[in-house]
Amino acid sequence: MFLARFLARRLAQGALIVFLVSALIFTLLRVVPGDPVRLMAGGMAPEALIEEIASDMGLRDPIYIQFGRYIGGILQGDLGQSFVRPANGAAVGGASFDDSTRSERAEVWTLIAETAPMTLQLAVLAMAFALLIALPIGIWGGLRPGGWPDRFALYISSVFVSLPNFWLGIVLALLLSVKLKLVPAIGYEGFAYTILPAFVLAIEIAPFIIRTLTVSVAGVMSQSFIDIAAVRGLTRNQIIFRHALKNSSVPLLNLLGVQFSMLLGGVLVIEFIFDYPGLGLLTINAVMQRDFPLIQGIAIVTAAAFVLINIIVDLAATTIDPRLEY
Amino acid sequence: MSLDMVQTKTLLSVRNLTVTLTGEGRDVLKDVSFDLAPRQILSVIGESGSGKTVLARALASWLSEPLAVTGGEILIEGRDLLKDPAYARTLAGREIAYVGGNPAGALDPTMTVGAQLVEKLRAVRPEISAADAREKAIRLLEAVKIPAAERRFHEYPFQYSGGMMQRAMIVDALMSDPALLIADNITQPLDVTVAAQILKLMRELNEDFSTAVLFICSSLPVACDAADEVMVLHDGRVVERQAPDALIDTPQHGYTHKLIEELPTLWAEGRDQAQPQDRDRRAIMSVRGVAKHYETRSASGKALVQAVRNVEFDVFPGDNFGIVGESGCGKSSLMRLLTGLERPDAGSIFFEDENVGEASPKRLRALRRKFQLVLQDPYGSLPPQSAIGAILEEPLKIHAIGNRAERRDRARAAMSEVGLPTDLYDSLPTGLSAGQRQRLNVARAMVLEPRLLIMDETLSALDQTEQGKLLNLFERLQAQHGFTYIFISHDLTMVRQVCSRIAVMYLGETVEVAPNERLFFDPGHPYSRALLSAAPTLEERRYRPEDCLMEGEPPSPIDLPPGCAFAGRCPQAFDRCLTENPRLRSRGGQALAACHLNDPGES
Ligand SMILES: Nc1ncnc2c1ncn2[C@@H]1O[C@H](COP(=O)(O)OP(=O)(O)OP(=O)(O)O)[C@@H](O)[C@H]1O
Ligand code: SF4
Ligand SMILES: [Mg+2]
């Protein structure tokens, strides 16, 4: 029963958030300078033609009407069509203003559906690498606060944090891919192409996980139920693995939720460097081409993903610590 | 083989045990020796800091930095735990069980109590199956009188009240049928009625499960009540050991002597507490029909917690007014209303003709100069980073009183008045003892020269000797400054010593308001009688617990029964009590009580 009410409440809240995000993005895109029609049609197109295309596409209607139309579309699962991309692939060049291609422009939904799984794959792998690195270091540091594992955790986090991701990406690509030919780096022709960018991302987020873990494990270890557990006769392994880690996992979960959201929404630099065909690359191109429907679509989909991740994290947290279920 | 099967005369024998604080090189326990027979209950008493907890931890092999055993032996069955840590580890939680005074944080908050009881038993006795362990846990939860044990087994620690949690910890200790139970101050955090139940329970368990008990506590009456023999610890040394009666009659050591002599009494007659009761005086604080509820979310949606209901009393200038009741009865919520920190949902609170409940925030700030609050917790209520002088000057600064030099003088004057050395002016409060901290709290409250001081459990963290000193201080300050005090407390003995009039609260209501003598010798409410019967004392009891109190705990303030809130535990309850809530009525002589038995038509 709790679950149903929780989900109903959170999904309603989430829908509201997504609505507000789309309203904000929609308005912002229409007030920034630069006319997308001019870009689409090319600098040479006559003013009258541009006006015609624009009013054809409804771009000269008042914003709230455009927005209403757009939301109506979303409710039917239609995110609109890209201004720039044809259905068959490469972006449409700026110079052609041949109106007949309009009907073959790509569906935003299809574009996102093609690239999102790539980003998801990258994010999951990056998260797995990050946990693999951070869990042992963080837990160990938390179990010996002030000791050398704690200092080690701190130093290694500082090193990781101070490596700029583009630099690390380029260095690793040169070293592992070009020199040693261990893993491929640029573009995407199979799963192996995910490994290097995922590793770079993992190095970027691992310090946050390590930090959160050392703090929360150390905090839990100093609580009285841990102290008393030994007197109650529990073994050290039981104390650490059954009680300490479980109790310190709630802050970790929250952090992982945030990090995962960031991975889904904002791996722009890494996807760009590795030319990885995910949402990040799609976003960069959409922004450079002023492809409003695509930008909007990506924003809405990522906002919805954030909301869902948040709900899942909270649900998992209340399962672990029932006190959070209020 | 279980240890208690072995036929030996002594279960535990401690020889010349010395424990040292390694940093300072100070001995905390000095040459402690004693024996404990199987099935025996031995009380250990001593003032705060005498080393009781250190002894308990040493026996449970639970000493940690900076404490270390530097000499002696702890023999169980003739084997020295200190020389054989592996043996000590096999005993921990199995043959030697420990229950502490802070049940609140003792179990993992993310696992059900039942699961942890099972986990513990299976950790020390892996041969027992999970199903058997579960069955045993439920049986023991029933044995310690946890209502609906089967259901409670599946609940989380935060769903238990303090008293229930302490009982669950006793179950945890008894799960493995230990030969020795070390109970360190287990009744200290509990209300008197619950503490009385726990003591009774411990005696029964001692008989049923033949466990020897080392019962550590800081209250002489409780120690004598609980044990076959009492051992007195003073400054880390065992100074005497006798049966309770003999100890009271012929104490051997000066400390014991002094402890017995200064023991506050409940029933001794002829105290000169009676204040001049001049009823023409105007009340300084007058509370009428005050109520406050809070909204909480519970499993089944929103719920109303009725924290305070139907509270009525008057406090007159120069009064020492006491408010007593068990934890959760709404004392602290009432305190927040009295000080204007929150506003009541109904009723009025007049302080010198001004309604605190409706005063504007600005007026309230001005009024707060005249009534000050001194809080319970001597540790949490002081900012650790400010110097003592700065702490005392802060209220003066807030109210823009005096210039720097004047404020400094007033702070120093307040320090010397409460007995804090003035050369502590620049030091941080971290080094102060609990008693000194409470003095500082009192000084901070009185620099503004208030008319009314509200003391919320101000003394409950202090031991008997320190309490006595502070009570003398309060009396002196009252004589000098004409303060009026409201003491909010669960400690009847303290209230008996200092208060002229007392209000008894139960589940948010004032069920009785009466002058001191009247309340103690002619209580008008069955709950007051139950409280009196449960109060720890060495005197002959006027009220027997068996007659006055039924098992159980107060109902939750969320789903209150329709009639009298006490009906579930009241031995005298009758039909009318279940349907109609009694109102506060006069019993003559300034005494009021809310019970149908006082209705001339009944009884
Ligand atoms: N962890 C510790 N670090 C430093 N000093 C300690 C520590 N534990 C105890 N002490 C010191 O050992 C002495 C005995 O303390 P202990 O806690 O045994 O007193 P107690 O008799 O249990 O007091 P109370 O009645 O307040 O519980 C005190 O002087 C105390 O300051
Ligand atoms: S009203 Fe009834 S139940 Fe309540 S205290 Fe009086 S006799 Fe007991
Ligand atoms: Mg102690």
In order, the DSSP letters of B490-541 are: S-HHHHHHH-SEEEEEETTEEEEEEEHHHHHHS-SSHHHHHHHHHS--SSPP
Question: Cβ contacts (< 8 Å) between B305 and chain A: which residues?
Answer: none
Stated length of chain A = 326
Instruction: Give B185 Cα–ligand 3 centroid separation in angstroms.
Output: 7
Contact, A213 vs A138, CB < 8 A? yes
Instruction: Give B291 Cα–ligand 2 centroid separation in angstroms.
Output: 21
Q: B28, B44, B187: which to mutate for ligand 1, most atoms within 8 A of CB?
A: B28
pLDDT tens-place string over residues A8-58: 999 999 999 988 988 888 888 877 776 767 766 666 777 788 788 778 777
Return the bridge partners of B503, or none: B323, B513
Would you say residue B557 has pLDDT above 70? yes
Q: Which residues of B502-524 are buried (b: 16+ CB within 10 A; e: fewer)?
A: bbbbbbbbbbbbbbbebbbeebb
Identify the sign of the CA torsion B162, B167, B171, B177. positive
Distance CA A255, CA A270 (A): 21
**Helix-strand-coil percent breakdown of chain B, rounded to 5?**
35, 25, 40
pLDDT score of B5: 45
Which ligand is in closest contact with the Cα of B49? 1
pLDDT score of B267: 81
Q: Please state the rounded mean pLDDT for residues B479-500.
A: 89
- Closest by Cα among A174, A180, A172, A178 to A196: A172
Cβ contact A243–B108 (<8 Å):
yes
Q: What is the DSSP string of A263-282?
A: HHH--HHHHHHTT--SHHHH
pLDDT tens-place string over residues A130-182: 999 999 999 999 999 989 999 999 999 999 999 888 899 889 988 988 888 88
Q: Rounded to 5 degrees, what are φ and ψ at B227?
A: -120, 165
Asked if residue B387 has its Cβ within 6 Å of ligand 2, the reply is no
Distance CA B440, CA B426 (A): 13
Q: What is the DSSP string of B535-587?
A: S--SSPPSS-HHHH--SS-PPPSSS--SS-TTGGG-TT--HHHHH-PPPPEE-
Q: Please state the rounded mean pLDDT for residues B236-249.
A: 93
Distance CA B69, CA B20 (A): 6
3-state SS, one letter per residue, for B447-470: CCCCCEEEEECCCCCCCHHHHHHH
Q: How many CA atoms lie within 13 A of A165 on its CB side?
A: 20
pLDDT score of A86: 72
Q: B577, B581, B592: which to mutate for ligand 2, most atoms within 8 A of CB?
A: B577
Distance CA A321, CA A36 (A): 50
Residue A224: which of B106, B120, B299 has the nearest Cβ? Answer: B106
Would you say residue B400 has pLDDT above 90? no
Distance CA A317, CA B59 (A): 39
Contact, A317 vs A253, CB < 8 A? yes
pLDDT tens-place string over residues A220-256: 998 989 999 999 999 999 999 999 999 999 999 999 9
Asked if residue B573 has its Cβ within 6 Å of ligand 2, the reply is yes
Q: Establish, for the pair of chains A and B, how many residue pairs have beta carbons separated by less than 8 Å.
A: 63
Distance CA A277, CA A194 (A): 10
Asked if residue B594 has its Cβ within 6 Å of ligand 2, the reply is no
Residue A246 distance to chain B (closest CA, Å) = 8
CATH 3.40.50.300 fits B285-370+450-598, yes or no: yes
Question: Cβ contacts (< 8 Å) between B176 and chain A: which residues?
Answer: 233
Distance CA B469, CA B231 (A): 25
Integer CA distances (angstroms), A320 to A142, A210, A253, in order: 20, 20, 10
Q: Which fold has domain B12-262?
A: Rossmann fold (3.40.50)
Strand pairing class (B96-99; B180-184): parallel
Distance CA A146, CA A148 (A): 7
Asked if residue B507 has its Cβ within 6 Å of ligand 2, the reply is no
Cβ contact A233–B111 (<8 Å):
no
Distance CA B258, CA B236 (A): 17
Contact, A83 vs A40, CB < 8 A? yes
What residues contact residue A294 under an 8 Å CB cut-off, 6+ apart? A82, A83, A84, A85, A108, A111, A282, A286
- Name the band, by pLDDT with cuts 50, 70 and 90, for residue B2: very low
What residues contact residue B404 under an 8 Å CB cut-off, 6+ apart? none
Strands (DSSP E) along B62-159, which ranges? 67-76, 79-80, 96-99
Residues B214, B216, B219, B221: what is their CA dihedral angle, to the nearest 10 degrees? 0
- Name the band, by pLDDT with cuts 50, 70 and 90, for residue B47: confident
- Tell me which residues of chain A have a C-beta less than 8 Å from any C-beta of chain B: 2, 223-225, 228-235, 238, 242-243, 246-247, 320-323, 326
Contact, A136 vs A130, CB < 8 A? no
Q: Does B90 touch chain A (CB under 8 A)?
A: no
Structure tokens at B568: 């579930």
Asked if residue B596 has its Cβ within 6 Å of ligand 2, the reply is yes
Q: Does B297 touch chain A (CB under 8 A)?
A: yes
Please, where in chain B does CATH 3.40.50.300 lie?
12-262, 285-370+450-598
Asked if residue B364 has its Cβ within 6 Å of ligand 2, the reply is no
Q: Which residues of B4-21 are buried (b: 16+ CB within 10 A; e: fewer)?
A: beeeeebbbbbeebbbbe
Would you say residue B298 has pLDDT above 50? yes
What residues contact residue B392 under an 8 Å CB cut-off, 6+ apart? B410, B411, B414, B415, B440, B443, B444, B447
Distance CA A122, CA A130 (A): 12
* Domain annotation for chain A: domains and CATH numbers: 15-110 (no CATH), 112-325 (1.10.3720.10)
Cβ contact A224–B94 (<8 Å):
no
- Name the band, by pLDDT with cuts 50, 70 and 90, for residue B3: very low
Distance CA B479, CA B374 (A): 19
- Closest by Cα among A252, A127, A122 to A191: A122
By CB atoms closer than 10 A (0-12, 13-18, 19+), residue B418 is buried
CA angle centred on A293, ends A288 and A294, rounded to 5°? 55
Distance CA A269, CA A165 (A): 8
**Coil, strand, or helix at residue B593?**
strand
Distance CA B247, CA B231 (A): 9
pLDDT score of A266: 63
- Name the band, by pLDDT with cuts 50, 70 and 90, for residue B422: confident
DSSP state of B52: H
Q: Does B108 touch chain A (CB under 8 A)?
A: yes
Least confident of A16-30, A83-97, B436-450: A83-97
